[in-house]
Amino acid sequence: MRKEVVKATLRCLIGCNIGEASGLLIGRLYGLDIMSTIIIAVGLAFTVGYLATIIPLLKIMSLRSAVKITLGGDTMSIASMEFAENTLALLIPGFMASFIFDSIFWIGFGMMLAVGFFASYPVMNWLMKNEKCGCDMVGKKK
Domain borders along the chain are 2-136
Contacts of 85 (CB under 8 A, 6+ apart): 17, 20, 112, 113, 115, 116, 119
pLDDT in tens, 29-62: 999 998 999 999 999 999 999 998 888 889 988 9
Judged against a pLDDT cut of 80, whether residue 112 lies above it is answered with yes
Burial letters for 26-43: b for 16+ Cβ neighbours within 10 Å, e otherwise? ebbeeeeeeeebbebbbe
Residue 115 pLDDT level (bands cut at 50, 70, 90): very high
